Structure 1
Amino acid sequence: MTEVIAHRGYSAKFPENTMIAFHEAEYANADGIELDVQLSKDGEVVVIHDEKLNRTTSGKGYVKDFTLQELKKLDAGVLFPNLSEKQTIPTLEEVFAWLATNTLICNVELKNGVFRYEGMEEKVIKLIRQYDLSKRTIISSFNHYSIVHCYRLAPEVEIAPLLSEGLYMPWIYAASIRAKGFHPRYSAVPNEVISLSLESGIAVRPYTVNKEVEMERLFQINCTAFITDDPTIAVKLRDKYKKDKA
């Protein structure tokens, strides 16, 4: 059955890429979480989407220009002022330590399209191995050179290219770079492409699927998974779809 992956955690109702958003995704019965990583000034792997701090935190400027200690002082919950507790930017290690206590899958997106972040792939893979998460982690990126580098470093960890536009026969491209799947923008992947990919043994996990009509389409064709801001709606729909089929 199609898996539900919470985009930056339960980001529809909680601050994206924070521990509360990840915990709430688990409580919502999501099958996994998706998160984004970059490097701090002192080389720590931190979980945040934008290259700049401005949108989601109380800080201003680029993530790469701040040490982990400086980043930890910021409030990462500014878009949700009603939260009772301050949320901080997590490290990937913090998330992995928590993942070691459950069975969720984790899609780690490398945000290295703007800044190269030398050595980030090695650091992410070291943490995956340290926490024994090789079988539950998928590394994705719009930077396909980066995920190929990851595959060469750790062939046991699944990689998946992110695709923002339609690609001709993407299942063949994915197989050519040793990816077992790909993550397309949901509007750029028609049913036929999903079906042909699945028939070729290539997983398809579209992003970011928030409309119920799109979720239903993906459940109906038994898509591998999809990435959504609201796992509660997705899980509820899936349960209803399962019941109707039975």
Structure 2
Amino acid sequence: MNVEIIAHRGFSAIAPENTLAAFELAIASKANSIEFDIQLSADSVPVIFHDATLDRITGFSGKVREQNLSQLQKLDAGKWFSDEFSGQKIPTFAEALVILKKVDKFLYFDVKPHCEWSDSEVADFVNSLQGAEIQHKCVITSFSEQFLAQVRRVDGDLAIGHIVANLEAYKTQLSQAVAHGDNLISSQYRILLENPALIQESRSQGVDIVAWTVDDPEDMQKLIDLGITRIVTNCLIGFF
């Protein structure tokens, strides 16, 4: 069975998450795909960053959405992880594309639900994917139903995935995926281990499954034995 190994926020076990260094190391380590988080700066530039606030990663107090790009790029997004990565910046999506284009299989965009996008901001974002000629590699995932609906209106052909973190949400979002013709659920992996019947139930309705975030080799093997072929991990090493 061919398993697609998806680097969670890049190779985030050995480099600061969502940085160019983490993406480069993921590709060098032969990850098949990369997952990363995306939201907007105050001046509507898509940037790669997980949290709504900057504190944990940069030590700066404030929200990503309230800072202009010029302010965000003065911050250090690597030093918190180790001095070796001091100076890593919060990358824009455009900057990261130079590296991400090299990914073999897919780019999984986790669009943060705490960041609301206008229709024009979504259109600009989708157009940038088309302009870079990478739309065939892109999977747009989000907890935000509103954002997914906005993407569908702009480009009905982009692959869309629903992120779920508990069993109740899984059942609800599976129905949503089927109703909209979306072909993916990105599920917290323990839901699948505890409810393996969901796997066949989903696939019988044309919806495939990504399992996140799996760092225990035993759990990974259990998922593979259940037929899961798309797995998000921080660790990468030892899974090839």
The alignment's TM-score, normalised by the length of structure 2, stands at 0.90
Match of residue 75 from structure 2: 74
Deviations 1:11-64 (A, max 9, x none): 111100000001111111111111111111111100000010000114221011
Aligned counterparts, 1:10-159, within 5 A = 10-83=11-84, 85-111=86-112, 113-119=113-119, 120-159=121-160
Q: Indicate whether 1:216 and 2:221 are aligned.
A: yes
Q: Could you tell which deviates more after superposition, 9-18 or 122-131?
A: 122-131
Give the counterpart of 2:234 among 213, 229, 235.
229
Match of residue 190 from structure 2: 187
Structure 1 unaligned blocks of 5 or more: 237-246
Q: Could you tell which deviates more after superposition, 215-224 or 9-18?
A: 215-224
Give the counterpart of 1:199 among 199, 204, 219.
204
1:204, 1:100 → 2: CA distance?
23
CA contact (8 A) 1:39 1:64 kept: yes
Summarize the Cα distance change of 1:142–1:169 in structure 2 as closer, same or farther, 3 Å threshold.
closer
Structure 2 unaligned blocks of 5 or more: none
Q: Indicate whether 1:174 and 2:177 are aligned.
A: yes
Q: Which amino acid aligns with 1:197?
A: S
Secondary structure of 2:109's counterpart equals: strand
1:158, 1:193 → 2: CA distance?
21
Identity of aligned residues (%): 26
Secondary structure of 2:202's counterpart equals: helix
1:56, 1:84 → 2: CA distance?
12
Q: Could you tell which deviates more after superposition, 81-90 or 60-69?
A: 81-90
CA contact (8 A) 2:79 2:86 kept: no
The alignment's TM-score, normalised by the length of structure 1, stands at 0.88
Summarize the Cα distance change of 1:84–1:183 in structure 2 as closer, same or farther, 3 Å threshold.
closer
